[in-house]
Structure formats: structure tokens, C-alpha cells
């Protein structure tokens, strides 16, 4: 489950570095220290690097979304098992020591899956730009009523 973290951090660092290089290049051009031709040549290289990073981010995002779906499924299964044990315990079908052992294992597994799911969702939200809801223009007459 942790394999995505290394790729996520590496891509973020590379993306940040490429953007810093782009800013430095633009600054050199704006201050007249390099020509348009030199700026364009370096800008094309930096743009190609940024495009490759974005492609890798998209691939990672797809993998992370698949992992999110898998973890959602695992959480549902663990919750179902936990519920089943709780019900069986409540009606006396399971001995106390077995109940305690199983509930402990299921609870730990459930919490671990939920934590990992939360981390992945946070990372996914960093890789995807926020979607702004469409704005609906309302006539002023409707607002005043």
C-alpha cells in the first residue's frame, strides 16, 4: 500500500523543481539577461519535462483511484465481519475469548484500512485540480423578491 507514497513525493518534488526552473528562466528573460531564442530553447525543454511529469502524475492518479476502490471494498468487508461478530456475540453464539480476539483483529484491520484510504484520498485531492461548480446567473429581480 505504501508504494504510491514514494512516487507521489518524487513527482511532487520534480514538478516543483521544474516550476522553479521555469520561474528562474522567465526572470532571466524579463531582466534582459538572456535572449528570446535562448529563453524559447530552455522553455521548450522545461515544458517537455513538465508534460512528462504530468503524464506520470495521471498514471499514478489512476493507480491511486484503483487502490481507493479496493480499500473501500476492504472497509465494507471488514465492517460486515465486525458487525457479524458483534451480533453473534450479542446473542451468545460466540465465546468471549474468541469474540475479543476476532474483534481486536478486525478493529485493527479496519482502522488501518481507513487510515490508508484517508491518506490516499488526501494525496488524490492534491493531484487533481479543484472543480469549481458552475455559476448560475440570477436576474436581480429574482434576488430582490
Question: Is 101 part of any domain?
Answer: yes
3-state secondary structure 1-66: CCHHHHHHHHHHHHHHHHHHHHHHHHHHHHCCCCCHHHHHHHHHHHHHHHHHHHHHHHHHHHHHHH
In a domain, 102, yes or no: yes
- For the beta carbon of residue 116, count every other beta carbon within 10 angstroms: 18
Across 79-85, average pLDDT: 96
Domain residue limits at 118? 3-126
Would you say residue 134 lies in a domain?
no
* 136: confidence class by pLDDT, cuts 50, 70, 90: low
* Mean of pLDDT values over 81-97: 95
pLDDT value of residue 130: 57
The answer, yes or no, to whether residue 141 has pLDDT greater than 80, is no
Please tell me the distance from the alpha carbon of residue 53 to that of residue 48, in angstroms, as a whole number: 9
**Average pLDDT of the chain?**
89
**How many domains does the chain divide into?**
1
Does residue 37 lie in a domain region? Answer: yes
pLDDT score recorded for residue 3: 78
Mean per-residue pLDDT for 7-29?
95
| CB-based contacts of 64, cutoff 8 Å, min separation 6 | 4, 8, 120, 123, 124, 127
Residue 133 domain-assigned?
A: no
Mean pLDDT of 49-58: 95
Any domain includes 74: yes
What is the reported pLDDT for 77? 97
What distance in Å separates the CA atoms of residue 107 and residue 91, rounded to the nearest whole number? 20
* Mean pLDDT computed over 3-16: 91
% pLDDT > 90, the chain? 79
Query: Which pLDDT score is estimated for 58?
Result: 93
Q: What is the mean pLDDT of residues 75-95?
A: 95
pLDDT of 126: 85
C-alpha cell at 134: 458552475
Mean pLDDT in residue range 66-87:
95
Amino acid at each position: 500500500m505504501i508504494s504510491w507514497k514514494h512516487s507521489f513525493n518524487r513527482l511532487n518534488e520534480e514538478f516543483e523543481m521544474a516550476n522553479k526552473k521555469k520561474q528562474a528562466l522567465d526572470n532571466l528573460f524579463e531582466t534582459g539577461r538572456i535572449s528570446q531564442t535562448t529563453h524559447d530553447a530552455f522553455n521548450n525543454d522545461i515544458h517537455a519535462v513538465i508534460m512528462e511529469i504530468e503524464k506520470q502524475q495521471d498514471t499514478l492518479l489512476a493507480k491511486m483511484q484503483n487502490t481507493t476502490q479496493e480499500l473501500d471494498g476492504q472497509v465494507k468487508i471488514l465492517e460486515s465481519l465486525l458487525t457479524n461478530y458483534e451480533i453473534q456475540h450479542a446473542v451468545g453464539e460466540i465465546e468471549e475469548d474468541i469474540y475479543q480476539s476476532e474483534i481486536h483483529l478486525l478493529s485493527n484491520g479496519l482502522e488501518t484500512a481507513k487510515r490508508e484510504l484517508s491518506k490516499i484520498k488526501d494525496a488524490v485531492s492534491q493531484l487533481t485540480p479543484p472543480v469549481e461548480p458552475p455559476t448560475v446567473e440570477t436576474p436581480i429581480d429574482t434576488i430582490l423578491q
